[in-house]
Amino acid sequence: MTPTDELPDLDAIREALKASTSGPLKAKDLARDLDVPTRLYRPFRDRLRSLESAGELYRNRSQRYAVPAEIHLVVGKLQVVRSGDAFLHPEEPGRMDVYISQRHLESAMDGDRVAVRVEGVPSGGRNPVGRVVKILGRSRPTVVGRYQANRKFGFVTPLDRRIGRDVLIPEGAQGTARAGDIVVVRIQQFGDAKRNSIGDVESVLGPMEAPGVDVLAILHGHGLPAEFPAEVEESARDAAELSGVPGEREDFRHDLVFTIDPADARDHDDALSVTRVEGGDFEVGIHIADVSHFVTEGSPLDLEALNRGTSVYLVDQVVPMLPHLLSSDLCSLREGEDRFALSLLVRLSADGTVRSHRYAKSLVRCRHGLTYEEVHGILAGDHSISEEVDLAVRDLDGLARSLRERRRGRGSLDFDLPEARVVLDAEGAPVDIQRVVQLDSHRLVEDFMLLANEIVAADAVKRKISIPFRIHEEPAEAKIEELRAFLGPMGHSVGKKSVKPRMLQSVLDAVKGRPEENLVSTVVLRSMSRARYAPDNLGHFGLASKAYLHFTSPIRRYPDLVVHRVIKRLFVDGKGIPERWSASMVDVCDRSSERERVAQQAERDSIEMKKIEFMRRHLGEDFEGTIAGVTAFGFFVLLDRVFVEGLVHVSTLGDDYYTFAPEAYALVGDRNGRRFRIGDRVEVRVARADKEERQIDFMLLEGGQLAEGSGNEGGRGPGRAGARGGGKPKPGARSKSGGKSKPGTQPKRGGKGRRRS
């Protein structure tokens, strides 16, 4: 037995601290209460410090230890919003997020793991309020920003506005950076509430206007590694040798198997097949790339995949989870090439009832690599591949529609929020911003992937195994109360007691095709909890599913790779699950959830950056559009010609003072009664497109409130109300809800306030 085995464990230490009648205890007093031998005092003290670093214990200024919860401390990760304020997401399940104002953050930054003291709980179910008392772990060793020089030192203004203060650069630590360059700074000394952090320029990306610098800034800003370490590439080459060792596999190479993907896809995770069987049933093959055959547990390849967590799809490039040798070659189910797969064979009736299913390690050869557009053409009747393929596609579509109807029948939510597609030229410059159109072919593939994920999750639940479930918990009651308050004035209700997905879907159906559709869909979505990975099944609220996980994309998501290992071992090989797999599942789920959030934000940032770059070419040009959102500081306009949204700030409406009417989601002029509300048609001019601010500003044209869809019924009419709307903005114009605002300095969308789910 080692000395550390003789030491009290965390539970014993916690109990001793809770039992203390004199409050927090010094290490020597705690050792005495726990009967720690003198010879083990030093290892015991080291254990206390280790538990302190992990956030399990808290040590105050008098060097006394306490259990965080006993002294109103909450440990978790910090999310800073654009206003500079923050929310703590507690590690303890079931606890509400804690709001922290910017002045109480000390030196903590977005993503840091911190301990927060709760200092108040506002009435009305709102978030508790607290302050950061200790930083347990830093998430940002580097910061990306614009370098500026001073006489004796330089400073870098972070591009990420959630980092509120400049980083100081001592003389000689600027490297080759010149004033105005975008640089990566490694922080050498973190500041505090009164002092700025200090750092060295690690690399110079160049001027923001230079080609490719904007995307490089996003990559470095989110800590996304563009290249793989040499040992990982070597591990991938070693794994490639396994491509000639299939093992025992069921041969599907003579079946009609095909992929359906975007035209520019390089990594093909999944393929489908369908066969008509006796009794009018169908056997659908959902064939998923067998990545686990190549990525062995604990290898450098596996550890790097866990570290990355997911592939990241930026506008102009992919940062893959696995090296290209595997992700776009040996693992990818490419047309006409033999590939290893893990196949789920599902027998379905015509109405979507699952009769039976089985798993198989398989060998497949995709006969066709179809695009979404080709499949859509087949379903529309204006395109054909062959009689055999066309029939298979139509059979799959019929089954997919049945599956979709069954999901809707149980209350599954179906959000159809618009997304942007950026069209680039050969040099990577944006030439168009289009709205993504959801085709029937997209839904077809999605329906079978959802089916596979649910079947695998149900099997995992039956066997009571620990696996990365994809959970989506019920919305917090406070969020539902806010949603009720928002929907009530619009004539919608989601029930007075517990909210079911079916109720929310009824609201979404009711606003379909109406001007407020996008707003209502967005607000409903933000009332939801964030989906995440967890080792225990808690169900999926949004899908109205008792159990759900991710099984169908192991090339680009680490949880899917873990699921494959478990399924192959348990249901194909008939072996038990090693204890170490279950022991590591919490860490795998937490890491995967974290990396997913980073990837999603990076992807959004890259799209927004290209939108801004595109609109810079249209400065001074006029566009028609629709008001898509209204806040106290202005309204957002979605353009007709391109799928771009920008802000008309209240300070540029120089004809009146405007008050925000939240119940109507409108800005209303105090004197002239002019209204700007969701769905109004307007004409605007592009006034500013700033990459560093990541913002697009519009200015309402004179007479720019169009009659079609206008919200001025009963008012004074768009002609008179718009008399000064397009001219020079009046300095100091104000919204009564938003305070005085200067032109060009408006807050980001979302502004100050609560975390948006």
* 235 lies in the same domain as 354: yes
Domain count, the chain: 6
Residue 701 included in any domain: yes
Question: CA quadruple 300, 301, 306, 309: dihedral positive or negative?
Answer: positive
Final residue belonging to a domain, choices 122, 137, 152: 137
Let me know if residue 224 belongs to a domain. Answer: no
Is 702 found in the same domain as 557? no
Q: Are residues 601 and 690 in the same domain?
A: no
CA nearest to 162, candidates 130, 184, 140? 140
104 lies in a domain?
yes
Q: Looking at the domain assignment, is residue 559 inside a domain?
A: yes
Q: Which of 439, 409, 584, 596 is nearest to 502 (CA)?
A: 409
Are residues 567 and 644 located together in one domain of the fold?
no
> According to the model, what pLDDT value does residue 741 have?
33
Collapsing DSSP to helix, strand or coil, 457 comes out as helix
Rg of the chain in Å (alpha carbons): 28
**Is the residue at 212 inside a domain?**
no
What are the angstrom distances between the C-alpha of 644 and each of 616, 639, 640, 678, 697?
Answer: 12, 6, 8, 16, 11
* Residues 6 or more apart whose Cβ sits within 8 Å of residue 350: 280, 281, 282, 398, 399, 402
Residue type, 514: R
Claim to verify: residue 499 and residue 551 sit in the same structural domain: no
Question: Does residue 442 sit within a domain?
Answer: yes
Range of the domain at 147: 142-207
Q: Does residue 613 lie within any of the structural domains? A: no
CATH assignment at residue 146: 2.40.50.700
The pLDDT assigned to 231 comes to 97
The answer on 181 and 50 residing in a single domain is: no
* Same-domain pairing of 625 and 735: yes
Q: Are residues 424 and 481 in the same domain?
A: no
**In this structure, what CATH number is given to the domain that contains residue 661?**
2.40.50.140
Q: Please report the pLDDT score of residue 428 as a whole number.
A: 85
∠ CA 431-433-437, nearest 5°, is 135
Structural domain contains residue 24: yes
CATH classification at residue 47: 1.10.10.10
- Domain shared by 548 and 418, yes or no: yes
| Tokens coding 279 | 């009794």
Whole-number Å distance between alpha carbons of 328 and 325 = 6
For the entire predicted model, the pTM comes to: 0.83
CB 682 within 8 A of CB 700: yes
- Whether 10 and 133 map to the same domain: the answer is no
Regarding whether 415 and 277 lie in a shared domain, the answer is yes
Element (H, E) at 169: strand 167-170
Chunked in runs of 10, what are the mean pLDDT values of the chain (757 residues)? 69 88 88 90 89 84 84 87 86 84 87 89 79 87 92 90 87 92 94 86 93 90 92 95 87 97 92 95 98 96 97 93 96 96 98 97 97 97 96 98 95 84 89 91 97 98 96 88 83 81 90 82 86 95 96 98 97 93 93 94 93 95 92 92 94 90 85 88 95 92 67 32 31 35 32 28
**What tokens were used for 263?**
């035209």
pLDDT value of residue 707 = 56
Do residue 408 and residue 260 come from a single domain?
yes
